[in-house]
Structure 1
Amino acid sequence: MVNQEDPRVLRTRQLIRTAFRDLLQRKGFDAITIKDIAQEATINRATFYAHFEDKYALLDEVTEQAFHERIPEQVADAQEFTDDICDQLIIMTHQYITDFYRICRIDSNPMAKLVDDKIKKLLQQTIESIFVKGDTLHGIDIHRIKIMAAMTGSAIYGAAHYWLNAGEKSGTRALTDIARPYVMNGLGREILRR
């Protein structure tokens, strides 16, 4: 097993991720082989396998890293799920999936599903973290919080994904004006039911 803190390991993993991103833009996921990634990263195949099980594990890490890099500091530090936090998550999610689909050649339905599922999961975890930190949901059991985070994340992701696929040109402000009231009203009703 490789030492994840070793600077050489960190450098090699970054080389692999960068090579993979570059290849995604040129070839598309289905056409990329481990040999392609290794050549692009100037490493051998054994080195690749010392760091990643396969290209799906690499896709998973690249997707997660890019998502976490985009989370605004205000969202990461949020103690309460406010209108502003909701707007930021809607905008961030829309921008993330727009960039991902534009930059990476999504030539594979299985790849698109993997990426979509990963983004939904990360969005849900981000929302759940805000719910757990806040006092608003104090006293609600963790199972219920997870369900609320899943529904909230699904609503945000669904709206952002639809906006992208529909080719809406009105901008993200119009998207937030539509999606935020739906999300916040649903949460407000849940909090009031306690």
Structure 2
Amino acid sequence: MRARGTLAVLAAAAVLAACGAPSQGQVREIAPTEVPYGLLEPAAEPSADSTATAAPDSGPRVYFLEGDRLLAVPLGTAEPTGTGTPSRLSDLLERLSAGPGQQERADGISSALGTEVRLATEGVVDGTARISVQGLAGNIAADRLPLAVGQVVLTATTAPGVQDVQLLRDGEVLEVPLPGGERTAGPVTAGDYAPLVGPEPEVPAR
């Protein structure tokens, strides 16, 4: 039994020596070539897939026209009339109804919504914004209606809590045109009118 214990101690000492462990208070420096493969390599950066996060929300925006494409314009720095979804939605619709400002028009921005069109919020229920529209069909050419409706839908869905939109006139749900020529009386989303949105403007390099 004593011989077996001696052999075990000698074996353990041999393993420690091979691993470069300190012996009798002395530190032995290990050459890089003796380090197991990969332990001296820097940690790999996480892949893009593992660190991908959702793009930050751009905030409430109003959609106007640039040529024949819809363009997102920030709501601006004006103080909102309230903090709730209906108040923010009302701010957006008021800005949309007012149309592009003087400088925006000078930059070639316009609106498919005429000055006769009136928009008002009738509430948001389960993410669906019910918006009253007056003067839409009678004052806008048929081929411009998808652009006009797209402006309202895309603008409204940038309000927090709004997922889709239903347009009404005198309390009755309106049938609205989609970009592909179809018509629907159901709630419509920003994705339905995404084909009408132009590319994001390029930011010049600095």
- TM-score scaled by length of structure 1: 0.27
Greater Cα radius of gyration, structure 1 or 2: 2
Q: Which protein has greater RCO, CA pairs closer than 8 Å, 6+ apart?
A: 1
Larger proportion of strand:
2
- TM-score scaled by length of structure 2: 0.26
Larger proportion of helix:
1
